[in-house]
Amino acid sequence: ALTAGIVGLPNVGKSTLFNAITKAGAEAANYPFATIDPNVGMVEVPDERLNKLTELIKPKKTVPTTFEFTDIAGIVKGASRGEGLGNKFLANIREVDSIVHVVRAFDDENVMRENNREGAFIDPMADIETINLELILADLESVNKRYTRVEKVARTAKDKDAVAEFNVLKKIKPVLEDGKSARTITFDDDELKVVKGLFLLTTKPVLYVANVSEDEVGMPDNIEYVKQIREFAATENAEVAVISARVEEEISELEEEEKAEFLEAIGLSESGVDLLTRAAYHLLGLATYFTAGEKEVRAWTFKRGMKAPQMAGIIHSDFEKGFIRAVTMSYDDLIKYGSEKAVREAGRLREEGKDYVGQDGDIMEFRFNV
Ligand code: GDP
């Protein structure tokens, strides 16, 4: 499963947020095969469609799909110089598919700021820069190593792949040297293939999470820190989510009903953990399909662009191996017509083969050989 790693300087609210994620966490009984790792928080992906399907079909059981957040520990500053805990920090980031970068944007005199600079108690831009710089330096080291190796081959042997890699490296190197992340560069499809093989840190998609004070979370557009973060994120093709870790901590203790009341009182329509989950899901290009039977209505995560057999393989590898076809309808059609039978009568029930590219909201039934 694709995962997002939570990073940030000390004292920005990472642990507070991660604890809230763990508490809001998925009901373990629904996911018996999930691995248990203390650094991983598994949450259910909020999806209104699943509630609607449950009302319509009235199954015995409803199972949401899940998403995993990894708490990335370790020391940030000096990480790229290869000191022990810093090294671990970079290695952990290398393993995740996207980065959730928590940035302090709340004022609180009682909470020390790691990056303290005179005259600026809170400075989201400087904080972002501190972490990004370590990742940029680590990438620059990888790029420089490849550069020296590939340059010779590209020049002398006229090796096509080496030339392609060299051209990509030539494009990335000056950007990193300029202190910018490689995700600011636009690559074409061929270049992207090369980029993937470089396993860089600053090409991973990022979600900046502005951790704002509990009294301001209901009106994020008025917060100067948030404006700054949004402006910066735009230059990086990154996304921004605004939450209050404090609020998340508080609501993680509440019952469902109290939760909704509490959120409404502070001007929010959903919890920050839900918001973050949907944003991270979107960031990774993930989508949801459903299986819908009397016994169970269930949401499954797939990657946009996946074809029907791969989608089947998410449920069980045998479904992929023995894939014959998928009987499919869209969620919208099922809601519109009211039953599978009615969808069929309207001519909207489809039989799809192995080249079918899945769409968000598909309701799938797989036919396969065993
Ligand atoms: P970490 O070092 O990034 O894991 O930060 P922590 O989660 O331990 O938070 C550091 C301190 O900031 C703790 O005392 C938290 O209670 C406090 N804190 C975290 N989020 C908020 C927030 O939204 N508002 C306020 N006022 N304090 C917060």
Nearest CA to ligand 1 atom 15: 13
Ligand 1: residue whose CA is nearest its atom 7? 13
pLDDT at 152: 87
pLDDT at residue 119 is higher than 80? no
Cβ-Cβ contacts under 8 Å for 139 (sequence gap 6 or more):
172, 176, 182, 200, 201, 202
Is residue 116 over pLDDT 60?
Answer: no
CA angle 308, 311, 317 (to 5 degrees): 110
In this predicted structure, what is the pLDDT of residue 114?
A: 60
Asked whether 96 and 3 are in contact (CB, 8 A), the reply is yes
Residue 211 Cα: closest atom of ligand 1: 23
ipTM: 0.93
**Per-residue pLDDT reduced to its tens digit, 190-233:** 999 999 999 999 999 999 999 999 989 989 999 999 999 999 99
Dump pLDDT digits (tens) for 56-71.
Answer: 999 999 999 999 999 9
Q: In what order do the strands lie in the sheet with 40-44?
A: 40-44, 66-71, 3-7, 98-105, 206-212, 239-243
Span 359-370, pLDDT tens digits: 999 999 999 998
Compare 108 and 185 and report the one with higher pLDDT: 185
pLDDT over 70 (residue 6) = yes
* Confidence label for 171 from pLDDT (cuts 50, 70 and 90): very high
The CATH fold assigned to 131-198 is DNA polymerase; domain 1 (1.10.150)
Q: How confident is the model over 170-198, as a mean pLDDT?
A: 96
Give the binding-site residues of ligand 1, using a 6 Å CB cut-off: 8, 10-16, 106, 108, 111, 211, 213-214, 244-246
Q: What letter would DSSP give residue 46?
A: P
- Pair of tokens at residue 336: 């519109």
Residues 103, 211: contact at Cβ < 8 Å?
A: yes
Could you give the C-alpha distances from 262 to 212, 217, 218, 278, 279, in angstroms and in order? 17, 13, 12, 20, 22
Q: Where are the domains of the chain?
A: 3-47+62-116+205-283, 131-198, 305-368
- Residue 234 token pair: 């735009």
Nearest to 53 by CA among 213, 217, 288, 277: 288
- Cα 259–260–263 angle (5° rounding)? 85
Tell me the best of 111, 216, 242, 271 to mutate to test the pocket of ligand 1, counting ligand atoms within 8 Å of each CB and taking the most. 111
Cα–Cα separations (whole angstroms), residue 30 to 1, 158, 280, 299, 340: 16, 55, 22, 12, 26
Of residues 308 and 117, which shows the higher confidence score?
Answer: 308
Greater pLDDT, 318 or 157: 318
Q: Could you say which of 3.50.50.60, 3.40.50.720, 3.40.50.300, 3.30.460.20 is the CATH number of the domain covering 3-47+62-116+205-283?
A: 3.40.50.300
The third-level CATH classification (topology) of the domain covering 305-368 is: Ubiquitin-like (UB roll) (3.10.20)
